[in-house]
């Protein structure tokens, strides 16, 4: 049977998924239920840890399950009993005839939903719009595969890759649109991380703010790494968000500690010393780069030595997304495999 006929429903499920929170330990998942004529008769999405999963949310909208119904879900229905019951079982009990999903669940405890459904005689179609869903779920999928938080490294530079002018000033290299975009993205992560030197030099707030200056509802945990004492009146210690100083240089140890605390997504904001170490250790899952139409020259590059000795040893990247933001260019890039 062609899986194309479910793509419209999967597109809707992908839209619904985004209504749930991007931060927190759980993934953003959307679901729709179709009747046998492929009409959408119920919609659902996941609202975060401890709340109903997307399939169960959609099922709850129906008093009666019509014969021949199909559940379309962006992620393979889970098979484990966590804070809520297993979705595979809920779908079996609800009496759907078919389950269509996009991404496979990589979790050790939660995977296997497809097999459970098939064993119960339900038709299962997997991989519908999988590339789109894998991209939408990349933070959660990668974090669960690697058993550590997904790491986003962000920098804003002049077109020649400088993060500051010779005197160290860097406000504002990028334009208002870029700053609004990066603050919105900050509001979707669990933690924002910088080295002590950035706090000492810039006294940043490290909060996620809307263009009018007000705070987003969700504020990431502020993580400062390094052994130096920081001024107690530094703005990172204000009441707008929680702050943690980790007095270590071990990035693996830091990521492990944050993972234990339920941090799924860390946003590394710099400075260049800390950013270079993340790159050098191969710990960056995604690069977000805001390039401004400005020349600065000098030696204050976005990252420094990353252990590359010659051109053939360079780390090849792949641009996943490139767009104009005001006068700037936004690039989302990942390390190229192969």
Ligand X SMILES: NC(=O)c1ccc[n+]([C@@H]2O[C@H](COP(=O)([O-])OP(=O)(O)OC[C@H]3O[C@@H](n4cnc5c(N)ncnc54)[C@H](OP(=O)(O)O)[C@@H]3O)[C@@H](O)[C@H]2O)c1
Residues binding ligand X (CB under 6 A): 155-156, 163-164, 168, 170, 173, 194-198, 201-202, 225-228, 249, 251, 269-274, 277
Q: Compute the least distance from the CB of residue 316 to ligand X, in Å.
A: 23
Closer to ligand X by CB, 83 or 171: give it: 171
Closer to ligand X by CB, 150 or 155: give it: 155
Stretch (H or E) spanning 101:
strand 98-103
Cβ contact 270:198 at 8 Å:
yes
Q: In the sheet where 98-103 sits, what is the strand order?
A: 40-45, 30-34, 70-75, 98-103, 123-125
Closer to ligand X by CB, 181 or 202: give it: 202
Token output for 54:
């997307």
Let me know if 256 is a catalytic residue: no
SS3 at position 245 = strand
SS3 at position 292 = strand
Residue tagged active-site, from 7, 43, 55, 132: 55
Q: Compute the least distance from the CB of residue 138 to ligand X, in Å.
A: 23
Q: Compute the least distance from the CB of residue 207 to ligand X, in Å.
A: 15
DSSP assignment of 316-329: -EEEEEEEEETTEE
Closer to ligand X by CB, 90 or 225: give it: 225
Q: Compute the least distance from the CB of residue 188 to ligand X, in Å.
A: 18
State yes or no: cis peptide before 212, omega within 30 of 0.
no
Q: How many CA atoms lie within 13 A of 77 on its CB side?
A: 34
| Catalytic residue numbers, as ranges | 55
């Amino acid at each position: 049977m062609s899986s194309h006929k479910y793509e419209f429903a999967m597109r809707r499920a992908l839209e619904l998924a985004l209504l749930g929170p991007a931060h927190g330990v759980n993934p953003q998942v959307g679901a729709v239920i179709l009747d046998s004529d492929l009409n959408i008769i119920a919609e659902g999405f996941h609202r975060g840890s401890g709340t109903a999963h997307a399939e169960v949310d959609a099922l709850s909208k129906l008093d009666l399950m019509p014969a021949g119904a199909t559940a379309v879900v962006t992620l393979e229905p889970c098979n484990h009993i966590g804070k809520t019951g297993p979705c595979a079982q809920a779908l079996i009990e609800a009496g759907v005839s078919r389950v269509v999903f996009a991404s496979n669940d990589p979790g050790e405890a939660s995977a296997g939903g497809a097999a459970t459904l098939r064993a119960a005689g339900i038709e299962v179609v997997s991989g519908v719009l999988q590339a789109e869903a894998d991209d939408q779920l990349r933070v959660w999928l990668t974090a669960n595969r690697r058993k550590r938080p997904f790491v986003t490294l962000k920098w804003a530079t002049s077109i020649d890759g400088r993060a500051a002018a010779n005197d160290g000033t860097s406000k504002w290299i990028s334009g208002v649109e870029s700053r609004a975009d990066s603050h919105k993205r900050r509001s979707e992560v669990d933690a924002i991380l910088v080295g002590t030197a950035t706090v000492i030099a810039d006294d940043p707030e490290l909060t996620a703010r809307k263009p009018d200056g007000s705070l987003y509802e969700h504020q990431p945990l502020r993580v400062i790494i390094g052994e130096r004492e920081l001024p107690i009146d530094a703005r990172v210690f204000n009441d707008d968000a929680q702050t943690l100083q980790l007095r270590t240089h071990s990035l693996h140890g830091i990521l492990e500690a944050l993972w234990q605390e339920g941090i799924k997504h860390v946003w590394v904001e710099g400075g260049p010393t800390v950013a270079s170490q993340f790159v050098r250790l191969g710990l960056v899952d995604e690069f977000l780069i805001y390039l401004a139409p400005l020349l600065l020259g000098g030696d204050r590059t976005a990252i420094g030595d990353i252990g590359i000795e010659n051109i053939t040893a360079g780390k090849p990247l792949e641009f996943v997304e490139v767009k104009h933001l005001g006068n700037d260019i936004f690039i989302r890039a990942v390390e190229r495999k192969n």
